[in-house]
Amino acid sequence: MDAVEGCNVGAGLPAAWGDNPAARHRMGLSAVEQLAILASQDHLALGLSDYGKPDGFLERQVARWTKELASYNELEGYEGPEIPGLAEVSSWLTANLPQHGQVGIMHGDFHLANLLFSHDEPELTGIVDWEMSTIGDPLVDLGWLLATWPGEGAISVGPAMAFNHLEGFATPAELIARYSECSGRSVDEIDFYTVLACFKLGIILEGTNARAFAGRADRGVGDLLHAITVALFTKALTYL
């Protein structure tokens, strides 16, 4: 890695451009442009042939995260997930699995809190927090961004929650179109990837709620993240 100059907007939008709706609009387009560049990288040429297990990656996701959710039941005090739509979303993902998923570098947690922007203009300078990265289907990253991006009707997570009152953010349709233009990849099945992101992220956040019941996390944080989990599954149901 190299040192990258930039700011994380979780601490607030930069004074140089943060109060400009056009700049907020550009943030999203810049993010998906760089995401398309990431997806275009040849992981084999970069020496990452053994970094992940891309064969059957999408096929494994529902079972993998359903098992993770079930493991929370081992925590004392947690009586199981109360997530409306859990069964419906799980079944839909299984039934609508893309037949021709692509392979490439996947960040795995591509959302606003993990992006660095220039102090002077709304251009992405870096992507951080790679602990969930793997070789998988890069469209999962686009779905993750769509599931968490701020704007009208959005389900905000992390720093994006502070932007719910602001206008100007690029719409999901604009983000999808720009990604498709830059990557040359088909986005015909992007709904699957957005629903998968809601499913997976919701289950991850529910883990903190379960740990809060066991006294291993703050109860207030657990309640907040459970509410976001429910909202993510509600969002997923709208795609169904």
Residue 33 inside a domain? The answer is yes
CA gyration radius for the chain? 18
- The structure's pTM equals 0.94
Distance (Å, rounded) from C-alpha 181 to C-alpha 175?
10
Residue numbers in the chain where pLDDT is lower than 70: 152-153, 155-162
Predicted pLDDT of residue 2: 84
Residue 2, domain member (yes or no): no
State the residue range of the domain holding 43. 9-239
pLDDT at 88: 98
**Does residue 27 form part of some domain?**
yes
Q: CA 27 from chain center: how many Å? A: 16
Q: Report the C-alpha gap between 72 and 79 in whole angstroms.
A: 9
Could you tell me which of 205, 112, 196 has the C-alpha nearest to residue 162? 112
**pLDDT score at 101:** 81
Note whether residue 25 is domain-resident: yes
Domain total for the chain?
1
Neighbours of 169 (CB within 10 A): 22
Compute the half-sphere exposure of residue 23: CA atoms within 13 Å on the CB side of its CA.
16
Look up the CATH number of the domain holding residue 21. Answer: 3.90.1200.10
DSSP state of 7: B
Per the domain annotation, does 1 fall within a domain? no
Q: pLDDT tens across 167-223, in order?
A: 899 999 999 999 999 999 999 999 999 999 999 999 999 999 999 999 999 999 999
Residue 3, in any domain of the structure: no
Best CA proximity match to 199, nearest among 110, 78, 92: 92
Establish if 195 belongs to a structural domain: yes
CA distances from 135 to 96, 101, 105, 124 (A): 21, 12, 5, 22
Specify the pLDDT at position 108. 96
Query: Residue 21 has what pLDDT?
Result: 93
CA pair distance 155, 152, nearest whole angstrom:
9
